[in-house]
Amino acid sequence: MPSAHGPRGPRRPTRPGPSPAPTGRRNRARPARNADKAPQPAAALKSGSDTPREGDRIAKLLARAGIASRRDIERMIAEGRIALDSEVLTTPATILTSLRGVTVDGKAVKEPSPARLFLFHKPAGLLTTAKDPAGRPTIYDRLPADLPRVMPVGRLDLNTEGLLLLTTDGELKRQLELPATGVERTYRARAFGEVSQAQLEDLIEGVEIEGMRYGRIDANLERRTGRNQWVEMTLTEGKNREVRRVLEHLGLKVSRLIRTRYGPFVLGDSQPGEVAEVRQVDLIKFRKTLGKDQK
What distance lies between CA 41 and its chain's CA centroid? 31
What distance lies between CA 159 and its chain's CA centroid? 22
- Whether 157 sits among the annotated catalytic residues: the reply is yes
Does residue 167 come out as left (phi exceeding 0), alpha (psi in the -120 to 50 range) or beta? beta
Among the listed residues 56, 157, 202, 218, the single catalytic one is 157
**C-alpha count within 13 angstroms, C-beta hemisphere, residue 100:** 7
- Distance between CA 237 and CA 260 in Å, rounded? 16
- Distance between CA 41 and CA 225 in Å, rounded? 69
Of 201, 203, 262, 197, the C-alpha closest to 230 is 197
For the annotated catalytic residues, the residue numbers are 157
